[in-house]
A = this chain, B = another copy of it.
Amino acid sequence: MPAEAARVRWRLDLGYDGAAFAGWATQIGQRTVQGDLELWLARVLHLDEPPRLVCAGRTDAGVHARGQVAHVDLAPGLMPDPAVLTQKLNRVLPADLVLWRVSAAPEGFHARFSAIWRRYAYRLSEPDAHAHPLYRNQLTALRQPVDLDLLNRAADTLLGLRDFGAYCRRREGGTTIRTLLELRAERVTDGPLYGVIECTVRADAFCHSMVRSLVGALVEVGTGRRDVAWLEKMTSGAVRDPAIPVLAARGLTLEEVRYPADAYLAERAREARTVRTTVPT
């Protein structure tokens, strides 16, 4: 049996203010969420080298997370009580990164491939519906007000399984076929974000810059600068059209990642690893 097989998998639930991170993924010479977390895990667990983390959604520079999920494989016996590790890590982690929980990963769990959907929120403030300055780092300010009915009617046309190549920065060997499960915008009616437009975007998975392009296109329609015919034309394109604005990272938060019941984790991971190349008709 190879040494790898003897490792134990742990699930980490975490949140961060993305403003001062160059995104999730480790980059040489840059401060990243993965980099900070791997470094502090190694220090607290007295490891010779940082363990490798795998996350559910590799957020870009400036994007926040409330419900990021990651996993790490460790040799048995390395992990103290997970609650104690959570406490210890939160004492040393920088103030813009918090670990909600560490738990033993169930059999078959893979932070990225076992997930059945990811939910993002994109938050917009309109010119005269002032959001409080304390929240400005999680909002994108619009220059024009938005007609939410118009925006939501356009959003409905984008739901379902399709090639979202028109909304993605293409990556070599990757697919841009996704199932968009939810896309709608609402004004927040209560609490500190009162008046803010909150766009919920939920899909089985996302490709690079997809949420920010989708909301960017919808804002074009919601402000009346473009119509649904334009949106349809854009959506049918195979590659990203520069006419679709990619909104700023600061408005975006990874809110939640959902996994199936434990019994289906491995099956879901096998399914998700299979690259889709065609949309069934």
Residues of chain A touching chain B, judged by Cβ–Cβ distance below 8 Å, are 15-17, 64, 66, 87, 90, 95-100, 127-128, 130-134, 136-138, 190-193
Contact = CB atoms under 8 A, between A and B. Distances in A.
A64 B192 contact: no
A3 B66 CA distance: 57
Nearest to A83: B128
Contact of A96 (B66, B95, B133, B193): B133
A15 B135 CA distance: 11
A130 B134 CA distance: 19
A98 B15 contact: no
A170 to B, nearest CB: 31
Contacts of A137: 134
B190 A136 contact: no
A137 B132 CA distance: 13
Nearest to A135: B134
Give the secondary structure class of A's interface.
mixed
A128 B84 CA distance: 11
Given A17-B136, A136-B17, A130 B98 contact: yes
26 contacts: A15-B130, A15-B132, A15-B133, A16-B133, A17-B132, A17-B133, A17-B134, A17-B136, A64-B134, A66-B132, A87-B127, A90-B130, A95-B133, A95-B136, A96-B136, A97-B133, A98-B130, A98-B132, A98-B133, A100-B130, A134-B137, A134-B138, A191-B191, A191-B192, A192-B192, A192-B193
Contacts of A66: 132
A87 B133 CA distance: 15
Contacts of A97: 133
A127 to B, nearest CB: 8
A71 B133 CA distance: 21
A138 B138 CA distance: 14
Contacts of A127: 87, 90
A198 to B, nearest CB: 11
